[in-house]
Structure formats: C-alpha cells, structure tokens
Amino acid sequence: MNTPHPIPFLFTLTSLLIMSSCQAQNKLPPDHAYVQVSPSGTLTLDGKRVRFWGAVLNYIHVRPEGEGAEGLSILPGDSPEERQRKVNARRQAIDAAADRLAALGFNLVRSWDGFDPTQPYQVGDGSVQDIFAYSCAAFEKRGIKLWVPQFNQTGKITETDVGVLDSPADAEAWKEAIREWNTKEPKSIRDSKFYVHDPRTAALRLQRMKAYADFPNHYKKGLRLGDDPQVVVWELTNEEWWLTSMLNGSWQNYPKYFRDQLMDRWHAHLLKKYKNDDALRAAWGFLLENESLEKKNVLLAPLANPVKDLVLNDVNPLAIAAQTATQQKLTRANFTRQRGSDVIEFFLQTIIARKMAERDAVKSWGKSAKLSPLVFDTGDGFRIQSVYLHQLADAVTMCTYLEGFAKDDQEPRFPWFSYLDEPPAWRMTCPGPRSVACRANPSSSTKPRPSTPSNSAPNIPIVSWPRPPSRTGTSSSGTAFPAPFSRWGTNPTTAPLKSAMQDSLRKAFTSASMKCKAPP
C-alpha cells in the first residue's frame, strides 16, 4: 500500500503558520485605543476625555548641544565605527529631548520633518527615515502622541510628473505650463496653489501624501503611520492661505494653462447658479461691456486688489475686449456687492471641494487616518469664510504668534501684556478662540508665542485644544533643537524661569483651571 506523501501537508501547514504570523503582525489595536472626536466635540481615548499640551520640533535635526547641523549626517565614506557613533549620538539627543518634553508635561509633538517615505531603510542605518521612525518610537515610550503635518512635505513638481494622470490630450500643454511655472528651478507643490483646481497636480499631491501614510516604522514591527494609534491629528496643510491668496489675485500670475482651468470653473459656477446672462445681469445689477456667460468672458472680479491690466482673465480676445472697454483699473468700487459675494463663494467652494476630496482619500489610508481627527489647515486668518471651511473638518485649528507687549499705556503691566490676565486670547489684533470655535468640533491654537526682549526666548504655548504647540524646542532659526542637555534657551538667568512658566501653563491648561473670559 502506498503511503501518502507528507510534503503537501507540510507545505499547507507551513503556509497556514506564515499566514497566521502575518495576521498577528497586522492585527491593529481596538478602536478605543485611537484618539477620536466625541459627539459632544471633545477628544476621547479609551473612552475618556483627553487634552493635549504640545510642542513643535524637527526630529531629523535634533542633535547634541554644540554639534553642527551636518556633523551627524551619515556620509558614504564613513567607517562602520563612525556610522555607529553618529547613530548613537543622534539617538542620545533624541532620547534627551523626549525626556525633557515629558518632564515638562508635554504629551503631544508636531514633527515638522520632510523626507522621502518611499525610500527603504533599516533600523540603525542613520538615514532620515530611520531617525524619524526612531523618534516616533522614543516619544511613544514616554507617552507622547503625534500631530502629523507631513502632508505639507510633498516635494517639488516637474514636467516629468505628467504621467501621474492618464490624460494624453492635455499632457504636452501641462508640461509646457510647468516649465513656464518653474522658471529657474522646480517649485514645490505647496507653493503651486493651482493644485487645488488642476487635476494632475492634485493627483500628484495625493500620491505623495499617501506615501507618508504607508511609511512603515520598523521600530514598531513595521506598523504603518496610517494605522498608528500614536497619531492624534492629521493635518492637510499648514498656513496655506489659499483663499486669501486667490482673493488677492495671485492666480493672475499662473501660466495661462492654469488660468484657463480656473476660468472654466468660474463660468461653470455661474452657469449652474444663474443659467443665463439675463439672470446674471439681474442679480449683479449690470455686466461690463461684452461680458457674457455664453462667450465665457465674464471677468473674475472684483478682487481685494485692483486687477492687473490685460492680465486678469486673458483667456480669449473677448475677455480682453471686455476689460479694455472699461478704460480703467477695476476695483471693488466698480462692482456690486452681489458680484463680490459670488467671487468669494466661488473660491470658497473651490477650496472646500479640494479639502473634501483629500479628506475622503486620507480617511481610506489606515485606521488612525480614519478614526483620529483631521484638520484642513492651521491658519488662513480669522475671516468667517475660513472659519466655515475649518468647521467642515473633524477639528478647528487656527494659528498666530502672540505678542507680549502692551499697546495701551493704561495696561496695568505696561509695557508688558499678559495673556493670563484675560485668557484666552490670540493676540492684540485678533479675536479670541471663541471666534473660531464650533460646538461639534474640538479646536486648537497653533504656535502661540509671547515676545520678550530676549532673542533666544522660547515660544510658550498658552491655551486651547489639542495642542497650543509652540516652537519650543527649536532655535531662533526654527531648524534645530538647541540644547537637549541643558535648559531651554541660552540665557542662564531666564531659562529656569521660562521652564517654570512652561510647566505652570501646562498644568493650568490640562487641569482645565484656565477659564475663558465671557464673550462681549
């Protein structure tokens, strides 16, 4: 009698063991282990409300005091011993920074680091990818969570990126526009604000954003950043100021290809809302000579500034004729309020559509990306349109740099001004956090900083959720952690006081003992 061959069984058993191992490795924490927004608009972790007190620093640039910015970079000619020395020194600096932040009570870090997340790395190879991964793990060991702003770091754009979107019909025109846009050197996607309405540039940005979500942390068994419960907040853009930029007319400097795209969207917006010239004229009170929806030559005006002669809307001869016929620079005074409102509405709907598309994409990139709050931007002023934009995200965030000087000589501390006298405040010329708060959304303040006469003064976070991150931990140039082995700052007289202030403010905030002044 023939004996069954054991190999198929062994092969099947081995396959099952491998599959079981992979499943165990890929098993993610339960939902409650991720920071989420509650129905009441607060943050929760493990079923309890949580508040965050955060700081901003660059992991990749953290180094021992006195070490130059390039001193610990891994070089091709480094011996194994020299490479290991640099890796150890860098890790020591990172651990010291993490210890200091934890000792001061910080439980959140916003890591302003950009790197190529698609580049493979190994534990301890000293690459920027290795440093970033090690830093994340080091802060996690100390109970410090992450605010992720890496989506800002999506690199530069060149004509070779044309293949990101399969659209051969306009490929050459796009490449030519990018060549014109880059002029001397390639510009970043962040500075190329036409990504908001250009499908190809938008696709490129999404592709590079996703690479960050897919970044594996080999200090955490390959856990993807998009699945990591250490991440508390996902940030789409930092101080983008897109709406302000458009209303100021910066788009007039785009290559014609991108201006034409914007004008096509403008006319589509008007056609959807008004249907025809008669309805448009009735709503606006009048149209300029030669303006017509049918001819697609309705000027995208008024703007905050006078329009440029023969630049605005020069998508076709009829548009030029419409502007030339006025024989004057066009300002807000030349148009009715309703026309101005439609311009604002158009730009607002355009940026909202882009943010929503990016939000939907990010939410599909992992468990943390799906469950933890995502913010659309960290600024764009305190105008009502940007507040509305922010409230469509999971959380609201605004930024400002606080000033410590009083402008009124009747202030009791003149010439100084303390924000602890009337908490909370943004700065003298900006409304308080209540102006951007929404009942259904957590809110945050980013980068508050009281000024002092010392150039080396650290930035002090004041109020608001989830992190009033200061740039504490960065030098005056904002590029490096100045002294992880010493006190904050470089002034031996004031540094201990500043550290004490940090700790006192943190305790006041996290204990909720700082009460908002009643709104007027």
Q: pLDDT by residue (tens digit) across 50-64?
A: 888 888 887 767 766
pLDDT, tens digit, for every residue of 387-431?
888 889 998 887 766 656 667 777 777 777 665 565 445 444 555
Average pLDDT of the residues in 261-279: 97
Q: Which residues of 451-474 are buried (b: 16+ CB within 10 A; e: fewer)?
A: ebeeeebbbbbbbbbbbbbbbbbb
How large is the C-alpha radius of gyration of the chain? 27
Closest-CA residue to 455 (of 479, 488, 503, 490): 490
List the Cα angle 48/49/50 in 5-degree steps: 115
| Least confident span in 336-345, 355-364, 507-516 | 507-516
pLDDT over 70 at 131, yes or no = yes
CA atoms in the 13 A half-sphere facing the CB of 462: 26
Mean pLDDT of all residues belonging to the chain: 77
What's the pLDDT score for residue 415?
A: 74
> What are 497's two structure tokens?
């006081």
66 Ramachandran zone, left/alpha/beta (phi>0; psi -120 to 50): left
Q: What is the pTM of this model?
A: 0.81
Lookup result for tokens 């890796």: 87
More confident residue, 476 or 223: 223
What's the pLDDT score for residue 508?
A: 66
Largest distance between two CA atoms of the chain: 107
H runs (alpha helix) in 37-144: 80-103, 128-141
Percentage of the chain exceeding pLDDT 70? 67
pLDDT over 90 at 440, yes or no = no
Average pLDDT of the residues in 177-187: 95
> What are 135's two structure tokens?
């830093």
Q: Which residues of 331-359 are buried (b: 16+ CB within 10 A; e: fewer)?
A: ebeebeeebbebbbebbbebbbebbeebb
Percentage of the chain exceeding pLDDT 90? 49
Q: Which residues pair with residue 111 across a beta bridge?
A: 57
pLDDT, tens digit, for every residue of 290-327?
899 999 999 999 998 877 544 444 545 555 555 554 44
| Least confident span in 5-9, 193-197, 409-413, 435-439 | 5-9
Structural contact between residues 462 and 502, judged by C-beta atoms closer than 8 angstroms: no
* Helix 256-274 with 171-182: angle, nearest 10 deg: 120
Q: Residue 103 and residue 106: Cα distance in Å, rounded?
A: 8
Q: What DSSP designation does 194 have? A: G
Structural contact between residues 472 and 502, judged by C-beta atoms closer than 8 angstroms: yes
What's the pLDDT score for residue 311?
A: 46
What's the pLDDT score for residue 126?
A: 92
Q: What DSSP designation does 407 have? A: S
Q: Which residues of 299-328 are buried (b: 16+ CB within 10 A; e: fewer)?
A: bbbbbeebbbeeebbbbeeebbebbeeeee
pLDDT over 60 at 352, yes or no = yes
Name the pLDDT band for 70 (thresholds 50, 70, 90).
Answer: low
pLDDT over 90 at 342, yes or no = yes
Q: Which residues pair with residue 43 across a beta bridge?
A: 37
Give the contacts of 429 (CB within 8 A, at least 6 positions apart): none
What's the pLDDT score for residue 101?
A: 85
Name the pLDDT band for 357 (thresholds 50, 70, 90).
Answer: very high
What's the pLDDT score for residue 328?
A: 52
Name the pLDDT band for 69 (thresholds 50, 70, 90).
Answer: low
Lookup result for tokens 């990504």: 195
Q: Which residues pair with residue 48 across a beta bridge?
A: 45
CB atoms < 10 A from the CB of 256, how many?
Answer: 14
